[in-house]
Amino acid sequence: MVNRGRLVSAFLRLTGIDAESCEEAELAAELTHRLRALGLTVSRDAAGNLYGFLPGTTDGAPCLFTAHMDTVRPGKGKRAVLSPDGTIRSDGSTVLGADDVSGLVSILEALTMIREKALPHPPLEVLFTAAEEPYSRGCASFDFSNLRSRMAYVLDLTGPVGTAAVAAPSILSVEVTVHGRAAHAGFAPEDGVNALTIAARALAALDAGRTAPDTTVNFGLIAGGGGKNIVPAEVSIRGEIRSLRHNTAIAQGERIRRQFQREAQPLGGRAEVTVTEELRAYRIPEASPTVLRFRRAVEELGYGPARLVTTFGGSDNNRLAAHGVQGIVTACAMENVHTTEEYTTVMELERSAALTLRLMTMEG
């Protein structure tokens, strides 16, 4: 039912616009023009998020559809290449940008079909967010009092269309600074307090990786020292914690804090540990109207049965859930995201747009 040529043309056009995180202005202008042409009232907030509203032609409950505008790096100078078999990739020097242009064009095509065919629909809200990739920071600044919807579909998941994530983790950032005391490593090492030794002992005592089936801990960045012949006076470490149980994530952060402080004190150093909540875990009940509607749409289109999964990635849906909106994250035709091997296919783009259209127009 969707227009394949128009859908692919929109995808190629939008992926060709550079939109790395916090640099979405050009893409936002293009999307604003397209949404207004489809009859939506559109506004852009100070964080760069685009909000659009289309009044309903039925008395159904309002429904929100969202996707993000930004891409990860390398995302400048993207050039999509359409192969004869329907696969679309970048030229290999950048990401493709299917994450999340595939979501953007699915929503745009569904709205275009509604306008062309005068299809009945409830009130529809659209939110195209900025800076989603860095822990959904754009959406964090959105004024949620503007939303009418308590039900949402966030188009931002890999996997076959018909898949949706109903649960996602809390994500905590961990920043550790270990303070020691510098000294000449040859003449007077005993006068120093080796910050690296403190850090190494703490890290060796801490579990990392998958610490439980639903929890991960990672230390990914370390820096410090002033020279190979100087006892290092300071070491900084950066990491993150993810858990489907928020309380478990918090407990892991406290465990890290205590361990670094425990190792620092006997050696005469000190450790500063900052744990910041980036996103909070959620789980949407499978009996919720959002999920039931999704299941029915997938089955009616012949894509079913719907596949409900848990993801260890964060998204704008974490923000929606924190504000009382029951959303799920739907697969929307993107694979190998966050790499230069990212790709999509014309067939999956069509399926994503068709599913979005069904979700926008179905009764109940």
Output the six-digit token pair for 93.
């020097």
CB 112 within 8 A of CB 6: yes
Residues 6+ apart with CB under 8 A from 240: 171, 172, 173, 174, 217, 218, 220, 278
For residues 325 and 43, what is the distance between their CA atoms, to the nearest angstrom?
A: 20
Residue 210 vs residues 96, 135, 214, 254: alpha-carbon distances, Å: 30, 21, 8, 17
- Specify the CATH architecture of the domain 170-279: 2-Layer Sandwich (3.30)
Closest residue by Cα to residue 128 from 227, 207, 51: 51
Strand, helix or coil for residue 218: strand
pLDDT of residue 203: 98
The DSSP bridge pattern shows strands 326-331 and 151-157 to be parallel
Catalytic residues: 70, 132
Give whole-number Cα distances, 199 to 51, 178, 220, 251, 274, in Å: 46, 7, 13, 20, 15
Bridge partner residues of 279 (DSSP): 171
> Which residue intervals of 212-342 are DSSP H helices?
246-264, 289-300, 316-322
Beta bridge mates, 277: 172
* pLDDT 10s digits, 189-233: 999 999 999 999 999 999 999 999 999 999 999 999 999 999 999
Q: Which helix (H) or strand (E) holds 311?
A: none
Q: What is the DSSP letter of 232?
A: -
Where along the chain do its domains lie? 4-168+281-361, 170-279
Does CATH place domain 4-168+281-361 in 3.40.630.10? yes
How many CA within 13 A on the CB side of residue 78?
32
Mean pLDDT by 10 residues, the chain (364 residues): 96 98 98 98 98 97 98 98 98 98 98 98 98 98 96 98 98 98 98 98 98 98 97 98 98 98 98 98 98 98 96 98 98 98 98 98 87
pTM of the predicted protein model: 0.96
